[in-house]
Amino acid sequence: MDTAGKVIKCRAAVAWTVHQPLIIEEVEVQPPKAHEVRIKIISSGICRTDDHALHGDMENMNFPVILGHEGAGVVESVGEQVTDLKPGDKVIPLCIPQCGKCSSCLSPNTNCCLKTHMHEAQNVMPDKTSRFSCKGKVVYHFLWTSTFSEFTVVPTDAVAKIDDRAPLDKACLFGCGFPTGYGAAVNTAKVEPGSTCAVFGLGTIGLSTIIGCKLCGASRIIAIDINRDKFEKAKEFGATECINPKEYSKPIEEVIIEMTGEGVHYSFECIGRTDTMKAALECTHMGYGTSVIIGGAPPNAHITFDPYLLFTGRTWKGSIFGGWKSKDCVPRLVSEYLSNKYNLDGLVSHTLPLDNINEGFRLLQSGKSIRTILML
Ligand code: APR
Ligand code: ZN
Ligand code: ZN
């Protein structure tokens, strides 16, 4: 059946209001307008950021909303003036767009396009309207991706076309988790061979950071988590030591400095807490240590810290989407995956049908899952 140009009715997980379980509903999805495509989503990972959004811990949230920002699928139809994508293309919606025109996109030194949700709200399409409705009500977009729906509409600036051979049940990992952690090590920190690293938090982001540190040739990778169950996986991916802050009476930064003598070369905060961001900075070498913030802190969070920590030479950086210029780099990462540069199987702990999405969120909240992938 040719659906191009028509409204599609399909199933989606709707978050009607903050803190409430998602409800699988029949929604209407409008055809894409100019510079937009409609995508049939095949798989979608549940990320911590979706959970934050559901609990109101994100700016620019409107309800009802269709969450989800780590998906993979196939282009169903394209709007006017779309030249780089066609129906049938395998694609990944991008939670950080690459418009190619803004000052950030034109700079080689950042991937943080000014069309990101931190700069302009992405709860509606660029023309300020939504393509989703349900029971006569407007349903809002999330990060322009809304991948917890069988069909979604995305501006082409936020869509990467990937290799036809990519397995769409796993490719969703390239929409957020893997590029974010891996890129923080290889692009943002530029970890050097033989260096020492500390990775705080061992979810999908932390484990992907470990993959990056290992591929860069780090000699020691110290993994930190308050949940011991995460240690086995961390070691599989390349952690050389695993430590639990709860098992020490002194602060974890002191433990790491003792373990390494003078602190690590690189540290990564993959949790999203201000106290661990500070600890991650403090555990680096006072002269040449670099600490990278990857975890998203709650809105309005602030940190106070001793400026001498930086005065002596430490560098404090942030990394969004691993520093990758998304539209250009995601296809490259997928191709490297297809040539077996990295094995990501260990990142997927559960696979569930869309119907069980609330179970997926519970697994995330309880710390029992790494990535749960929903099959739509
Ligand atoms: N100290 C050490 N580890 C902690 C602490 C703490 N105080 N608090 C939580 N953790 C661990 C959890 O046990 C968990 O293993 O941090 C890990 C975080 O993993 P996930 O919740 O699975 O999160 P992930 O998807 O990896 O994302 C991490 O990056 O994208 C952002 O918003 C996202 O802030 C989140 C962060
Ligand atoms: Zn841009
Ligand atoms: Zn994410």
pLDDT tens for each residue of 280-310: 999 999 999 999 999 999 888 999 999 999 9
Substitution candidate for ligand 1 out of 47, 180, 205 with most atoms within 8 A of CB: 205
pLDDT in tens, 21-62: 999 999 999 999 999 999 999 999 999 999 999 998 888 789
Atom of ligand 1 nearest to the CA of 206: 26
Atom of ligand 1 nearest to the CA of 370: 22
- Predicted local distance difference test score (pLDDT) of residue 237: 97
Q: With a 6 A CB cut-off, is 276 part of the ligand 1 pocket?
A: yes
Q: With a 6 A CB cut-off, is 292 part of the ligand 1 pocket?
A: no
Contact indicator for 191, 216 with CB cutoff of 8 Å: yes
C-alpha of residue 200 to centroid of ligand 1, in Å: 8
The helix-helix angle for 252-260 and 274-282 (nearest 10°) equals: 20
C-alpha of residue 146 to centroid of ligand 3, in Å: 12
Atom of ligand 1 nearest to the CA of 272: 34
Q: Which contacts (CB < 8 Å, 24+ apart) does range 234-238 have?
A: 234/199, 234/202, 234/206, 234/207, 234/210, 236/346, 237/207, 237/210, 237/211, 237/346, 238/210, 238/211, 238/213, 238/214
Which strands sit side by side in the sheet containing 132-134, from one edge to the other? Answer: 8-14, 23-29, 132-134, 137-139
Q: Over 80: is that where the pLDDT of 151 sits?
A: yes
Q: With a 6 A CB cut-off, is 95 part of the ligand 1 pocket?
A: no
User: Quick check: bond before 97 cis, omega within 30?
Assistant: no
**How many angstroms separate the CA atoms of 194 and 216, rounded?**
9
C-alpha of residue 110 to centroid of ligand 2, in Å: 10
Confidence at 329, pLDDT banded by 50, 70, 90: very high
